[in-house]
Chain A
Amino acid sequence: MSEARIAVPESAPAGGSSRRRLRDWLAQERVFRLIPFVLVEVVFLFVIIIPFLLMVYISFLKWRANRPFEQAFLSGFGNYEQVLTAPGFWSALGHTFYFAGCAVVLELVIGFVLAMFVSRTVRARGLYITIFLVPMMIVPVVVGYNFTMLYIDSGPINQLLAPFLEPLGIDPRIRWLSDPAAAQWAVILADVWQWTSLTFLIFLSGFSALPKQLINAARVMGATAWQIFWRVELPLLKPAIVIAVVIRSMEALKIFDPVVLLTAGGPGTSTQTIAFYLWEQVWVFNKFSFGAAASILLLIIFATLIFFGIYLLVRQSAAVAQQRAP
């Protein structure tokens, strides 16, 4: 019986043997393992790598979209020079880091405290988790839109403030989005509202993974709650903290949607983030080669950060793997 089975590959009938041979070839481990790899790489090649090379080429051209592409001519590093001397680029970059910094710190602190409280709560725990995770699911554009409704001069925020402002003789119908500082914080708070849910989620999974015996052991040895928190829980939560910081920082630096919806970069350029700035340069002013050069510079800045971020993640997951091993 076993011999008959073994004989099959050699004595396959001639008809359809090429299909069979193809199938056998594909089933070999060295071929089989590479099929999905090649497919995915092809997707990346056509959708990301070729466009990227194109962008590098365009960044050396002097070209605006209102002229035909064929007439564009090489201008060397001219575009890069323009980008580096454009004040808008630097201020947009500054705003981006400012927004990201403020938002991520707030998200980390609030997310951590909420996760800690929820993990120690028994009653209504599931309800809290469900509610706290809702913002993550909401389309960012809707979040931006929601906040414009809250911030408008006859909106609920002003109504809540009215009892405090009216006695002072101030008209409570403040136009929040017309003031640079307030508009900036409007963007930051919209981001915090939405993405604290993610830091909460990461920290919550961190808290629920804490080894209970270790904390009980510390308690038996007479450690106070405060000592347990600083000496036991916080060090064990380090991986979760690193993950939250890296992921949120990377995402926050991309901030675009709430800016478009809330302030459209204004008033003035006070809420222009780098994503918004580039979008405006390319899609509104048609400065394609300028945009390409700026993108490449941006990519260099980001690649450094990303590399650093990934390095932290890898080191952290290696540390976790080590902890897990006996």
Chain B
Amino acid sequence: MTTPAEMTDQQADSAGARNLRRRRLRIVVRHAILVAWALVILFPIFWMIATSFKESGEWVAWPPHWIPQQPTFKNYSQIFTFDTMQKGVAREATEQPFNVWGPLGDSLLICTVSALIALLLGTFLAYSISRFNVGGKHFRHAILMIRMVPPIVIAIPLLMYYAIMIPLAAETVLGTRIVLFDTRVGVSAIYIATTLPFVIWMMLTFIEEVPYTLEHAARMMGAGRLYTLRRVVLPLVGSGMVVTFLFVFILNWAEFLLALTLTHPDVVTLPVLLNKFQSASEGRLFGPQAAIGTIITIPVVVLGMLIQKHLIRGFSFGTIRK
């Protein structure tokens, strides 16, 4: 072995060249692996989008067609049709709820309203936890526990609660029958409860970045608590609230188990709609299904990309240093 001091220039040159080559090789291998995983991720999405433009004959052709040979918008026009009795549609799916408008409206309404309410409640509570230490030192962790409980365990009592207990109680107390099962209110209520822990956690990270002294300054100038909250704190965590709202919206948009178990047949969210296609095992409607999958996916992926940077921070749970 030679120490660096003993190396001749030539040796040093060739060692440097070897190092350079090795480093280049490492970079190439690294990129190869990253590109491979990118392909793994993009392929199923590509396949879904491709299928959504395929004619029914191409859905399960062997060998499969990677790119639709006769691209068509038929699948989209089928799911977006206003007239369910249209010819050609009815032939293939007489017993299926085929129209996407109703579920799209239900999903948008439920997800937006429940995300907004959860955001409002959660932001206030996060503020209270951060500034007044409400609930004690471990409250924020206790809240996280709710999120970790499997939703099926919540779904079973909720079904009986919504379908039996509340109607019974309402009938004896109010004299009218109120059912929360299969209603938008019922689904929204459980979405609010299950997303609150996330709102509280994300908003805590944003609120704790607002220095206390700003609020002190406002209060010294005579501003009341609500005025301070509205004019000083909320504007400063506004972008955080937008991010949190979008995140919670995406969570609700994707939720399947609770929507599946607490609705039928009136309220249908998009994931439930997609599942209804799947359960009809005979003559699967891959094309329209892919079209629905695409329209469910694209908006949330776009939203997700918008908040990507903030997600990295929100998910760090305090491990990132400023």
Residues in chain A within 8 A of chain B (CB atoms): 5, 27, 29, 32-37, 39-40, 43-44, 46-48, 50-52, 54-55, 58, 69, 110, 113-114, 117-118, 120-121, 123-124, 128-150, 152, 154-156, 159, 162, 173, 193, 197-198, 201-202, 204-206, 208-209, 211, 239-240, 243, 250, 253-254, 256-257, 260-261, 264, 274-275, 278-279, 282-283, 288, 291-292, 295, 298-299, 302, 306-307, 309-310, 313-314, 317, 320-321, 324
Contacts and interface: CB of A to CB of B under 8 A. Distances in A.
Contacts of B38: 128, 131-132
B214 interface: no
Nearest to A121: B30
A309 B148 contact: yes
A44 B146 contact: yes
A145 B125 CA distance: 38
Contacts of A291: 156
A139 B319 contact: no
29 contacts: A34-B128, A34-B134, A36-B128, A37-B134, A37-B135, A43-B193, A47-B190, A51-B154, A110-B37, A121-B27, A121-B31, A121-B34, A133-B308, A134-B301, A137-B300, A142-B297, A201-B312, A202-B316, A204-B312, A208-B320, A209-B319, A240-B319, A260-B260, A260-B275, A282-B156, A288-B156, A291-B156, A299-B149, A317-B319
Nearest to B122: A40
B317 A243 contact: yes
B243 interface: no
Given A39-B124, A40-B121, A159-B64, A47 B189 contact: yes
A317 B321 CA distance: 12
Interface string B120-137: 011011011001101100
Given A47-B158, A134-B45, 9 more contacts: A33-B131, A40-B196, A46-B189, A110-B37, A145-B48, A162-B63, A201-B315, A275-B151, A309-B148
B153 A302 contact: yes
A175 B10 CA distance: 62
B152 A256 contact: yes
A204 B308 CA distance: 12
B157 A129 contact: no
B286 A149 contact: yes
Contacts of B256: 139-141, 256-257, 260
Contact of B275 (A36, A37, A141, A302): A141
Contact of B224 (A27, A114, A137, A313): A27
Contacts of B152: 254, 256, 274-275, 278-279, 295, 298
A51 B153 contact: no
A239 B315 CA distance: 12
Secondary structure at the B interface, as helix, strand, loop or mixed, is helix
Contacts of B134: 33-34, 36-37
Contact of A142 (B153, B168, B224, B293): B293
B274 interface: yes
B296 interface: yes
B111 to A, nearest CB: 11
Contacts of A124: 31
Interface string B34-68: 10011011111101100100000000111110100
A24 B15 CA distance: 78
Given A260-B275, A282-B156, A295-B153, A130 B33 contact: no
B154 A173 contact: no
Contacts of A69: 164, 168
A275 B160 contact: no
A64 B12 CA distance: 83
Contacts of B300: 137-139
A148 B109 CA distance: 29
Contacts of B297: 137-139, 142
B17 interface: no
A314 B286 contact: no
Contacts of B30: 117, 120-121
Interface residue tally of chain B, by bracket? 35 or more
Contact of B125 (A37, A206, A292, A302): A37
B160 A58 contact: yes
Q: Nearest 3 pairs between A and B by C-beta?
A: A137-B304, A55-B157, A36-B124
B145 A306 contact: yes
Given A47-B190, A55-B156, A137 B319 contact: no
Contact of B318 (A132, A155, A320): A320
B49 to A, nearest CB: 10
Nearest to B61: A154
B201 to A, nearest CB: 11
B62 A173 contact: yes
Contacts of A211: 321
B74 interface: no
A156 B146 CA distance: 40
A123 B125 CA distance: 42
B261 interface: yes
A154 B261 contact: no
Which residue, of B122, B127, B250, B315, has the highest number of chain A Cβ atoms within 10 A?
A: B315
Contacts of B164: 69
A326 B112 CA distance: 43
A18 to B, nearest CB: 18
Interface string B237-270: 0000000000000100110110011000000001
B121 A48 contact: no
Given A48-B154, A142-B296, A256-B256, A132 B319 contact: no
Given A137-B303, A152-B60, A155-B64, A129 B308 contact: yes
